[in-house]
Amino acid sequence: MARVVFLLRFCGLEPANGAPVGAVTEMRSGQRLQAVDFWMRNPDYLADALIDDEEADGRADGVALAKQILADREPQLRRLPMTKWRFGAWEELSDVLAPLLLGGLVVHQPTVRGDRTVAEHDYWLMPEGRDFIDTLLAAEPKTFGWYRDRAELIATVAKDTGGSALKARQYKRIEYASTAGMALIPPITDAVQTRLESIEAAAA
């Protein structure tokens, strides 16, 4: 639950037109939420993405941050593996979102097609949700501070990219892409470690 609220808070965008009154952030599409959640649950994939960004001249601290993630053993301590569904990593968030929606911390709006199937789920973090986060941070700054920092970092990688594009980016990693349906997506910690070592060796 903490994960989702922090992601909505820091990876959400400015509320657009049509947003509920008072909304703090807007998470347009559940797909984007699943994508940023994947990065939070798999620090090695995030580290890989950070390195990609640095190599693509997108940022200067990608490699250093990736290195720190591995040094802190986050892939081992923070990993929450995700199952690959038909269209990539996905997990049912209804149970997590239920109390948030119930309490009015988050507002949910599905876009329904003509055949009554849902085309898109959109989420807004409401002021009550922002207060909830502040309460968490006040109660356990160390525990919940990590979620805040990590969500902020993921935001720098996800930027305002849409859910499909983020998923497409994550698919570029062969381990992700080659995972069979309904199987857990495997860690790539060793590969990232090797990547970092070869970057260091090249720099030396």
Partner 1 sequence: MSSFSEVVAMCADATPERAGQVMDEMGIVLQPQPAAPVPLKITRIAFSGTKAPSGADPEPFDVDYSFEDGLTAVTSEKNLVGKSTILWLIRWALTGRRPADLADDVREWIEEVTVEGVVGTECFVVHWTLRDGATHDGSLTTSDGAGSSFSGQPGFAEAMGAFMLDRLRLSPTPWWKSQRGGSAGEGAVSVHGWPSYFPALLVRGDQVGVLLGENFEGGQAVTLLQVFLGLPWALTHQSASTVLKDLSHKQEAANRRARDDAKARDTVLKPTRDRLAAVTRELSSLASSPGAVSPDDADARVQAFATSAAAVATAAEQLAQAQQDLEVARADADELTKQLSALREDAVIVPLIGRVRPVACPRCTTEIAEERRAEEKSGNCMVCVVRIEAPESEAAAIDEEAGLAKAAQGAVETTIAAYAAAKAVHAAAVAANEEARSNVDAVSKAAETTARTRALQIERARLEGRVEQAGTVALPPAEEDDRQAVIACARAEAERRRAEGAKNLLEELGKEIVYVAHRFGFSQLEDASPKLNASLAMRVAGKDSNFGRRSPGEKLRLKLAMVIALLRVGERLGIGRHPGLLLVDSPGGEEMVELDVGNVLKELDDLCKELPHLQVVCATARADDVRALLPDERIIHGPDWIEVW
Kindly list the residues in this chain that would bind partner 1 in the complex (CB under 8 A). 1-2, 73, 76-78, 98-99, 101-105, 128, 132, 135-136, 139-140, 143-144
CB 2 to partner 1: min, Å: 5
Q: Which is nearer to partner 1, 112 or 168 (CB)?
A: 112
CB 168 to partner 1: min, Å: 30
Q: Which is nearer to partner 1, 136 or 192 (CB)?
A: 136
CB 6 to partner 1: min, Å: 11
Q: Which is nearer to partner 1, 109 or 198 (CB)?
A: 109
CB 97 to partner 1: min, Å: 8
Angle between helices 127-139 and 2-10 (to 10 degrees): 120
Residue with tokens 């209804």: 94
Q: Which is nearer to partner 1, 120 or 199 (CB)?
A: 120
The CA angle 63-4-2, to the nearest 5 degrees, is 95
Rounded to whole angstroms, the maximal C-alpha distance in the chain is 60
Rounded distance, CA 71 to CA 48, Å?
A: 14
Residue 20 has which token pair? 């509920």
Q: Are 46 and 158 in contact (CB under 8 A)?
A: no
